[in-house]
Amino acid sequence: MTTEPLTKRQRMAIGRQEMPARDAGERSGTFNEVNLGFTEQLALLEAQRCLACARPVCVEGCPVSVDIPSFVASIEAGDLAAAARALFGDNALPAVTGRVCPQEHQCEAVCVRGRKGAPVAIGHLERFVADWARGHPHDDVVTSEPSGRRVAIIGAGPGGLTAAGELARRGHDVTIYEALHLPGGVLSYGIPEFRLPNEIVDNEVDRLQALGVHIECNVVIGRTYTLDELRKSFDALFISVGAGLPMFLDIPGEGFKGVYTANEYLTRVNLMRAYAFPEADTPVLRGERVVVIGGGNVAIDAVRTARRLGARQAMIVYRRSRPEMPARVEEVHHAEQEGVTFEFQVNPVAIEGDADRWVTGLRVIATELGEPDESGRRAPRPIAGSERVIPCDAVVVAVGTRANPLLTSSSPDLALTNRGYLAADERGMTNLPGVFAGGDIVRGSATVILAMADGKRVADSIDSYLSGTPVELTAP
Amino acid sequence: MGHEVISNTSLSPTVHRLVVSAPRIAVVRQPGQFVIVRLGPGAERIPLTIVGSDAAAGTIELVIQAVGKSTADLVAVAAGSYIDDVAGPLGQPTDLITKGTAVCLAGGVGAAVMYPIARRLSEIGVELITVVGARSSASILFEDEFRSFGDLIVCTDDGSAGRAGFVTDALADLIAAQTVDVVYAAGPVPMMRAASAVTSPRDIRTIVSLNPIMVDGTGMCGGCRVTVAGAMRFACVDGPEFDAHSVDFDELADRLTTYGAAERIAVDHVCRSAGQPVTGRHGAG
């Protein structure tokens, strides 16, 4: 370690450190985590690249406003305990976000180092500190006296887990209700082991339980209990159930055997451990040639999963071009290394099947890109006469999700948007007093970190609401 | 934690009745609803109709036919042991008529699905005729109970009890002889399809309880999609009961065969590793 602080010139001379990764050939056959994590040496070098800007724009780029310069400076100073304190103070699940956040669109997108060369690898550093902290448990304690107030959180995904931690630390008695048999939401059923090992999620859940958070699995709000029943037993509610109803393409053949939604495919493999069939009881079809429709992170997770399940051909079919893909750049890169192939600017028109209704191919039509649509991305238009069939024996539909009406339809008083999502004001409160909501059920399909940002923000609102602090009302 | 199995009794050679501790579900469940059961680590999530409940005792009744590895594991759970996960009640309750004449049509283990519906209809006080079919007299389920609810017609494939032949033949005779306002049907897909074909020409409202392959049971995975009146519906949240005359039974029957090969592997795996003889058919659970 240097005794003199580094000069800016010295810092600028250090190049971005590469994340050590498992060999592509080796990993495409296993579900072991791909990224191996920075060593202390790599983390130190990477931390030294930070210029400690007077106005740290990276913090503004972070949905949960992590004090990035502070934890990076602590890494550089060799004080990892301080780095962990700084990080956990702002982010309840840094071991998760360090792995799954789209940093290239957030903190790293605005990093000053990125103007000339590569930005500081903030995500890799975050993961480094969080992983260190798992081996060096810090005191995560309830900082307030018990408030005597009870909060129910519906859904143990990233938003619900984040809110639970924030509220428990402030002395509130928190119960999370989860519909599935394990907590974690998309972190458990959706994001594969090779990107986010289950033990990371287990560890976060253990920490919450140590804070006194109760987690009740197998409870389906809207069925096991109604929202109104919860309102009678709790002082405030946070609805963080996710969007969770898979969308289909509405093309012929979606009922054929071998057609999965990404939710089903990933749930079978991740939550139900179908990769271990028949040791685990839940099966999944292992296609020789698997086509995944979509360009987001879920599509990439599915196609890399297919490759690991033994698919000779694992292909992404995306209707726009490569730059429009919403997936994390690193995952696309990893997928390519693992032998995943890509067909851009083709739109599925039908799934083809044989006489026994098993999938035999995906009929697609080529597209050209027109003017930007309402999402700002160029809208694909089909090119007449360009139809062809991509042979395959499994199709995974990964084109997004929409609001699941299971909870909302059982609570007719709850105000919805015209797309079926929950309407919430700036504080995250719905039209029902004391009933708050956040994450995908408010935003539509988004990201883990945005759900966490909502969890954090709404926890503040709930804390204010419970302590009777007046808050400014805005129209939903 | 977990759910204690209070009792496990054999109803027929492959069918068991389990009484399971599930206090909250016992209070709120309604006819037509189901639970998702997962025995323990590594086990499948299996949808099972809630056959009955005792709110005071905090228990629900499940009837399970051992058709594959997972169902064989469940029927083998001894009283006093635990099932890790029981989630529910799931699905929409049955749309029950409050006056008129109802026929409850049950084939095989479909009797377990029909039992709570018939029971509630008899409590409501509608005219009730139950038609129960089985391979032979040994595999008829809930015969005494159905008889206590109203009229009962028993059909067996081999003629060892009641009339020989299919329940749908008995149904055809019934609707030819008297007015029927609604038919509730549960059983193998070919039976439900045949029942639908029998009632369709007379436009008798017919409700079938579908049993597609399911994973989460909350609308999240889409595996249980069925086509009803040309539209995609999810049996777990929109059903499991639908208007029979609008159901695409061919698609349902076909999708149920998806894991046939996998089920044979699972059963072989068990036989090899534990030496347990299990007779398996398909993996619908």
CATH label of the domain that carries residue A22: 1.10.1060.10
A337 shares a domain with A266: yes
**Positive or negative, the Cα torsion across A304, A393, A400, A189?**
negative
Pick the last residue of a domain from A104, A135, A166: A135
Chain B nearest-CA distance from A125, in A, is 34
Closest to B140 (Cα-Cα) out of B161, B120, B119, B170: B161
From chain A, the residues in CB contact with B258 under 8 A are 257-258, 285
Q: Is B246 on the interface with A (CB under 8 A)?
A: no
pLDDT at B275: 46
Distances in whole angstroms, Cα of residue A217 to Cα of each of A175, A195, A442, B38, B254: 10, 24, 23, 12, 33
Topology (CATH level 3) of domain B94-183: Rossmann fold (3.40.50)
CATH label of the domain that carries residue A178: 3.50.50.60
Asked if residue A277 has pLDDT above 60, the reply is: yes
Among B220, B249, B255, most A C-beta atoms within 10 A, so best to mutate, is B220
Omega into B89 within 30° of 0, i.e. cis?
yes
Task: Report the distance separating Cα A80 and Cα A280, nearest Å.
Answer: 39
A394 assigned to some structural domain: yes
**Relative orientation angle of helices A40-48 and A68-76, to the nearest 10 degrees:** 120
Domains B3-90 and B94-183 share a fold: no
A340 shares a domain with A286: yes
**Positive or negative, the Cα torsion across B28, B223, B206, B106?**
negative
Q: Do the Cβ atoms of A65 and A91 come closer than 8 Å?
A: no
From chain A, the residues in CB contact with B69 under 8 A are 278, 281
H-run or E-run covering A186: helix A186-189
From chain B, the residues in CB contact with A189 under 8 A are 216, 220
Number of H helices, E strands in chain B: 8, 17
Q: Which CATH number fits domain B3-90: 3.40.630.10, 3.60.40.10, 1.10.274.50, 2.40.30.10?
A: 2.40.30.10
Candidate from A220, A264, A404 with C-beta closest to B223:
A264
Asked if residue A472 has pLDDT above 80, the reply is: no
Pick the last residue of a domain from A384, A399, A414: A399
From chain B, the residues in CB contact with A276 under 8 A are 42
Q: Which residue has the higher pLDDT, A466 or B279?
A: A466
A430 shares a domain with A353: no
Number of Cβ atoms within 10 Å of the Cβ of B133: 29
Task: Report the distance separating Cα A336 and Cα B277, nearest Å.
Answer: 45
* Tens-place pLDDT, residues A407-435: 888 888 999 998 889 999 999 999 999 99
Candidate from B24, B221, B263 with C-beta closest to A263:
B221
pLDDT along chain B (285 residues), means of 10: 93 92 97 97 96 97 93 95 97 96 96 97 96 92 95 94 94 96 97 97 97 94 96 96 98 94 80 47 32
Candidate from A181, A267, A405 with C-beta closest to B85:
A181
Mean pLDDT of chain A: 92
Average the pLDDT over A28-33 and give the result. 88
State ipTM: 0.92
State the Rg of chain A over Cα: 23
Compute the residue count for chain B.
285
Distances in whole angstroms, Cα of residue B101 to Cα of each of B168, B179, B185, B246: 17, 7, 14, 22
From chain B, the residues in CB contact with A279 under 8 A are 42, 269
* Tens-place pLDDT, residues B216-260: 999 999 999 999 999 999 999 999 999 999 999 999 999 999 998
A141 assigned to some structural domain: no
Beta-carbon separation of A281 and B259 below 8 A: no
**Relative orientation angle of helices A80-90 and A68-76, to the nearest 10 degrees:** 170
CA atoms lying within 13 Å on the CB side of residue B101:
11
Number of Cβ atoms within 10 Å of the Cβ of A21: 16
From chain B, the residues in CB contact with A257 under 8 A are 254-255, 257-258
pLDDT at A142: 62
Closest to A414 (Cα-Cα) out of A382, A394, A442: A442
pLDDT at A361: 98
- How many contacts does A have with B, using Cβ atoms within 8 A? 122
What sections of chain B are H helices per DSSP? 23-28, 69-75, 110-124, 143-149, 167-177, 189-199, 249-255, 260-274
Q: Do the Cβ atoms of B22 and B83 come closer than 8 Å?
A: no
Q: Do the Cβ atoms of A140 and A211 come closer than 8 Å?
A: yes
Average the pLDDT over A429-443 and give the result. 95
Q: Do the Cβ atoms of A357 and A351 come closer than 8 Å?
A: no
Strand-pairing partners, residue A7, are none
pLDDT at A4: 77
DSSP labels, A17-66? PPPPB--HHHHTTS-S-SB----HHHHHHHHHT----SS-HHHHHSTT--
pLDDT at B236: 95
Q: Which residue has the higher pLDDT, A116 or A348?
A: A348
**Positive or negative, the Cα torsion across B47, B51, B55, B59?**
negative
Task: Report the distance separating Cα A137 and Cα A127, nearest Å.
Answer: 15
Strand-pairing partners, residue B153, are B131
What's the domain range around A462? 150-244+402-467
Q: Give the total number of structural domains in chain A.
A: 3
Domain segments of chain B as ranges: 3-90, 94-183
A155 shares a domain with A115: no
Among B38, B46, B210, B221, most A C-beta atoms within 10 A, so best to mutate, is B221
Average the pLDDT over A81-94 and give the result. 90
A425 assigned to some structural domain: yes
A281 shares a domain with A231: no
Asked if residue A322 has pLDDT above 70, the reply is: yes
DSSP state of A201: H
Beta-carbon separation of A406 and B25 below 8 A: no
A307 shares a domain with A169: no
A449 shares a domain with A387: no
Strand, helix or coil for residue A303: helix
pLDDT at B277: 39
* Most confident option among A87-96, A99-108, B56-65: B56-65
Asked if residue A139 has pLDDT above 70, the reply is: no
DSSP labels, B130-144? EEEEESSGGG--SHH
Residue % of chain A over a pLDDT of 70: 96
Asked if residue A1 has pLDDT above 70, the reply is: no
Q: Do the Cβ atoms of A265 and A368 come closer than 8 Å?
A: no
Pick the last residue of a domain from A135, A169, A192: A135
A388 shares a domain with A307: yes
A411 assigned to some structural domain: yes
Task: Report the distance separating Cα A204 and Cα A210, nearest Å.
Answer: 10
